[in-house]
Structure formats: structure tokens, C-alpha cells
A and B are shown apart, each in its own frame.
Chain A
Amino acid sequence: MKPVIETRNLSRHYGAGDTLVKALDDVNIVIEPGEFTAIVGPSGSGKSTLLQLIGGLDIPNSGKVLLSDKEISEMSGSELSDFRRDHIGFIFQAYNLIPVLSAAENCEYIMLLQGIPAAERKERVYKMLAEVGLEGRETRLPNQLSGGQQQRVAVARAMVSQPDIILADEPTANLDSQTGMDLLDMMHDLNRHEGMTFVFSTHDPKIMERASRLIHIEDGRVIKDERRED
């Protein structure tokens, strides 16, 4: 099977000279379709930087990112924004829902960008929100939901457009540990059912246990890559 994500000698530096920070230094990873991968490492190790480069939100200083064999650094700005819309789902640490849109509308938004007809949008949104356990809360605004519920909406929003890859940067960091683990279990279930590729970052040992693959990074370098049985 061809890998869904591949990085080749990926490096991202900040500053120069004495203040040079190698946020990411010559990273080579290959992620197969359907994997449930955790990027782990202490704070400042380069997890976010890696996810942002994979998601095409940032540009590397050297090396490349291949998504399903397509090199994203060769895409133009609008190509990249369309590519993100159609192939990548993002989940952020701070949920980052659109505050003025309801749970359902937040999910609908991406499909609107994709030009999916309204009836289909509605159907898919309601099904997806039910899957993340938010049946009956579809019309609530983000601030009428708990943190855990908001992050579930974010998961639903990331998945509803059926992207190839879901990227989640510390999705549980703002949640208490039980809620965090519940969320992760739910994500893992969805990963098994829908076969989508998940890559998330965390520095929480309890959360790491949920992953089927752990890529450890430190100071911008991969130091260990382990696959575990479920």
C-alpha cells in the first residue's frame, strides 16, 4: 500500500546564527493509510511544527511532505487551501469552533466550502454528530457546550467532509483526563470504522497508550518509532 503521509528530510528552523532554533531537524516518517499515530514528546520538541508542516499550514526550510504521493510544497496557495479542504481534517487544542455557528453549522461549513448540496450536508452532519454522541445538541452554539462536547464537535467537523487524514494537535490538552481519554477512545473507534488516518500529538502518557503507533520526537528529531498491538 502506498503511504498516505511521507516526510523526507523535513527541517524547519527559526531564527539564525546564535538564536537558531531547529524546531524540526531532518525528519523522515512514513504513515500508512488507516494508522492511528501519536506524535509524542515534551513541550517544545516540535510536535506542532510537524503537524503544521504535514497539514500544509507552514513551509519547511528544507525537505518535503508527500501526501498520497503528492508533494504539497509544489502547490500554489489556493491549490493548497483546496487540498486542505478536501483531504485534511484539523482538530485543534483550543477546539476553535466558529463561535457564531451552531454545532451542526460548524460541521456544515466545510461541506459548504466543498459545494455539497444542502440536503446532503444536513443528513451527513446529523449522522456525524450522532456518531460523536451529540444527538439532540445539534443546534447549540459552542459556548452552550462543555469543553469535551466542543472537542467532539471539532472531531465531527474534521471528519464530516471525509478527508484522508485527520491531524489533531494536542486535542485533549484542554480536557480533564477522563474526558480526554473518552474523546480519544471515540476517535479510535471512528478510525477503525471509517478507516481514516489519524495523526495526533500529545505529551500525556495516559493518552499515548491509546495509540497504535508512537513516534517520539525530541529537539526536532525522531528518536523512537514504535508500533503497538491494539
Chain B
Amino acid sequence: MLMLKLAFRNILRNKRRTLLTMLSMFGGYFLLVLSFSVQFGSYEQVIKFFTKDSTGHAQISEVGYQDKPTLYAAVPATDEFYQQLMAQPGVTQATSRIVSSALAYGESKSFPVRVLGIDVDKEADMTFLKEKVKQGRYFNAQPDVDDYYEVMIGASVAQQLQVTIGDEIILISQGADGSIANDLYMVVGIIGTKDGQEARDVYMPLAAAQDFFVMPGQSHYWAVLTENYKESTALATELDQWLVDQKRLEAVSWQVVADEFYRTMKADIDGGYVAYYIIIFLVCIGVLNTVLMSVMERTGEFGVLKAIGTSPRRLFALIVIETMLLAGISCLAGFILVMPFNYYVASVGFALPNPMEVSGVIMSHMRGLWNVSVFLEPALIVLGSAAFISIFPALRAARIVPIKAMRSL
């Protein structure tokens, strides 16, 4: 107790210096909290959006499909399979898709497109596709009165083929049985922008795609969602376990499905760490400087403490305690003051200076994170750095030779 009192009074001795030291730790904490909040908040938002809209949290496909997607790698797309899948623990939503390519013809032009056969209702529930309809309307699962299936096309497809809502397009491709596939479709919607991911896509109802590619009751993969995207890997493992006796099928998480996206994201996060290291480094320099100075100034005093029987270990501890007290108070002050700021960032959010496009949707408004780790991790970093930094001055204090020190009094 007396030791703590001593440490506490020592830090109150040079108030200006104490304030300066605390200010650098406070500032470091403050900046780290907001940066963590903004950065990880953005990533969380992007990942959440991307996985929901595009890959799902996990996918079920034929083994090898993820590496080398082919028309022939099929999974069951039956209602029975859907029911079984939905009964698996953690699964909240699932939808099945066929993905292949075709040549599209308009009135006079042709254009290579990606064809997506999707479950019209489930897709509308699960993804943001419906919100991406820029012209026309979201399509129906049933063929129209003339028995044509409805399709939605990407903006580039519309432009290249010079077709618009109400026009027809013809698709030509190959069926899974090797036959030539060709059919006529009604364009009812135009999706996204020319720069978007969907620019070269044609969306058709799953049943239409099954007809077209001759894949009755089949699709290429199931995209599955769980409650929290952070559980994606667990979900994939769980599903993979479930599929264990269907050797042909496997489940993988979105990180595997969209490995390129995942890698860029990770690289971006790692890039962000440089900024953190700089903040931490600056804090450390500031703290080291002031703590070292306060030890040097007290050389004589420490000499006396040692002469009267204070062990080196105790002097070491005194300096560490003093520094940690400073760090603790700084973090506490930082916590109290950064809370309203982070609350604003997390609830109201902020506009991105350079809006980014994620799976076809422009994200220009981001929100920060409001959770324990956003506040706790920076505190641990500041406290940890302070503890580390205090080692050097503490060693210095512990090594003071009493008589030499006392002569300098």
C-alpha cells in the first residue's frame, strides 16, 4: 500500500511531465480505439454485405468445383435437400444457384454472358439482388403468358445487345448432356451499373436454367447463411461433417470460395497495422523519454532508498508501477472520452472519401464498431507497451549504485 502511495505521489510530483506522458498515452489509446472501430467496422460491414449478397457464409458444391467450376459438377437442388440443409444446426438461410456461360443475342448483336440460375424467392430474401434492379422489375419464377421465362440482365449486356425492358434475348450454350441449348427469354429488369460485378450477367429462374442446361433437380452449389458471419468456418466444418457420407460433396467457407477477395481484404488489414505500429511507436517514445527523465532526476533519491535497504527488485517494481499507473489512468480517461466519439461513429457512421464497390453495390457510408474488444484491445496495447517501455528506466533505477548516486545529491 505504501509502495502504491509512493508511486502515486511520485507521479504527481512533476505534474507537467505527468500530464505530457499521460497525454501521449491517452492520445494513443484514443486514436487506436477510433481506428480499430472504423477499420474493423468497415471490414465487418463489407464482409457481411459481400457474403450475404454473393457467396453466402458457406457453400456446398461438388468436390473440386471451387477450384475449377464446370457445368458438370452438380449438387441436388431439390426441396428435400433444402429441408435437410435447413435442419442443420446454425443454418438460417440457403439458396441454390446454377452458374455457367452462354452467348446472348439481341436484335442484331451477340455478347458472351455469365448465366445465373437462381431461386427467385429465396434470392430476394437472402441477397440484395432485388435492390439492384435499376430498370424494370424483379423477375417472376413462372413463365409469362406466352410461356417465356423472364430474365434480368446486367447493364453491359443491355448496352451491348441494345435491348431494354420488354425486349427478347436468345441464349445459346451447351447442356450438361452435351446437347446444344438455346432458348428465348423476356427481359424484365436491368441490374446494377456498367462497372458493377453484374454488368455481364443474365439472371434466370432456377427452373429455367435447369431446363436450359439440362440439369433436372440439380444446381452447381448451395449458398448457406448462418446467424453471424464470424461463424462461417464453423458452419462450413459442420456442414462438411454432415456431408461426410456423400463423398462427392463438400462444404467450404466463404474465405475459400472468394479467396481472392479474402486475400485483398487481409492485405488491406495488414496494411492498416502499419499505422497502428506508428501510433504505438510514438506513444512508446514519448513515455520512454519522460519516464527515463524522471528516473535520472531521482538518481540520488534512489541511491538513498537503496542505501537504506530497498532491494533492486523493489526499485524496479516502483518504476513499473509508476508507469502502469500513468498508463491505467490515461486509458481510463481515454475510455471515458472516446466513448461518445465512438458511439457517434458506430451509430451514425461517416461518409467514405472514396466510395468503394463491393459485389455490385457502392458503399459510401461506413459505421464503426461498438463492442468490448474495440475498447479493450487498445487499452491492452497501451498498457502492454507501457509495461515494456518501463523496463528500461526500471532497470536503470535498479542498477543505481548508492554511493555514486548520493554524491550527485
Contacts of A157 in B (CB 8 A): 308
Instruction: Report if A217 contacts B (CB, 8 A).
Output: no
Q: Find the residue from B3, B304, B309 having the highest chain A CB count within 10 A.
A: B309
A84 touches B307 (CB 8 A): yes
In the bound complex, CA of A158 to CA of B271 (Å): 59
Instruction: Report if B197 contacts A (CB, 8 A).
Output: no
Instruction: Report if B10 contacts A (CB, 8 A).
Output: yes
Contacts of B5 in A (CB 8 A): 101, 105
B312 touches A82 (CB 8 A): no
Instruction: Report if B305 contacts A (CB, 8 A).
Output: yes
In the bound complex, CA of A101 to CA of B10 (Å): 9
Given contacts A78-B311, A113-B309, A113-B310, contact A100 B9 (CB under 8 A): yes
Chain B: interface residue total (CB-CB under 8 A)? 26
How many chain A residues sit at the interface, stated as a range, is 20 to 34
B309 touches A84 (CB 8 A): yes
B304 touches A81 (CB 8 A): no
A82 touches B309 (CB 8 A): yes
Given contacts A77-B312, A94-B409, contact A112 B2 (CB under 8 A): yes
Contacts of A108 in B (CB 8 A): 2
A56 to chain B, nearest CB (A): 9
Instruction: Report if B200 contacts A (CB, 8 A).
Output: no
Instruction: Report if A110 contacts B (CB, 8 A).
Output: yes
When the two chains form the complex, which single residue of A82, A92, A100 contacts B10, counting CB atoms closer than 8 Å?
A100
Q: Which residues of A51-101 are within 8 A (CB) of B? A: 52, 55, 57-58, 77-78, 81-82, 84-86, 88-90, 92, 94, 96, 98-101
A90 touches B307 (CB 8 A): yes
B312 touches A96 (CB 8 A): no
B309 to chain A, nearest CB (A): 3
A81 touches B301 (CB 8 A): no
In the bound complex, CA of A158 to CA of B309 (Å): 11
In the bound complex, CA of A113 to CA of B403 (Å): 20
Contacts of A105 in B (CB 8 A): 2, 5
Q: Which residues of B295-319 are within 8 A (CB) of A? A: 300-301, 304-314
Instruction: Report if B13 contacts A (CB, 8 A).
Output: yes
Q: Which residues of B1-38 are within 8 A (CB) of A? A: 1-3, 5-6, 9-10, 12-13
Instruction: Report if B175 contacts A (CB, 8 A).
Output: no
A113 touches B314 (CB 8 A): yes
When the two chains form the complex, which single residue of A52, A96, A109 contacts B403, counting CB atoms closer than 8 Å?
A52
When the two chains form the complex, which single residue of B2, B307, B409 contacts A109, counting CB atoms closer than 8 Å?
B2
A99 touches B307 (CB 8 A): no
Given contacts A98-B6, A100-B10, contact A92 B312 (CB under 8 A): no
Given contacts A105-B5, A113-B309, contact A96 B314 (CB under 8 A): no
8 A-B pairs whose Cβ atoms sit less than 8 Å apart in the complex:
A57-B402, A81-B310, A86-B309, A96-B409, A100-B9, A100-B13, A112-B3, A113-B310
List residues of chain A with CB under 8 Å of any chain B CB: 52, 55, 57-58, 77-78, 81-82, 84-86, 88-90, 92, 94, 96, 98-101, 105, 108-110, 112-113, 118, 157-158
16 other contacts beyond A82-B309, A89-B308, with CB at 8 A cut-off? A55-B307, A78-B311, A81-B309, A81-B310, A81-B312, A84-B307, A86-B309, A90-B308, A96-B300, A98-B6, A98-B304, A100-B6, A105-B5, A110-B308, A112-B2, A113-B310
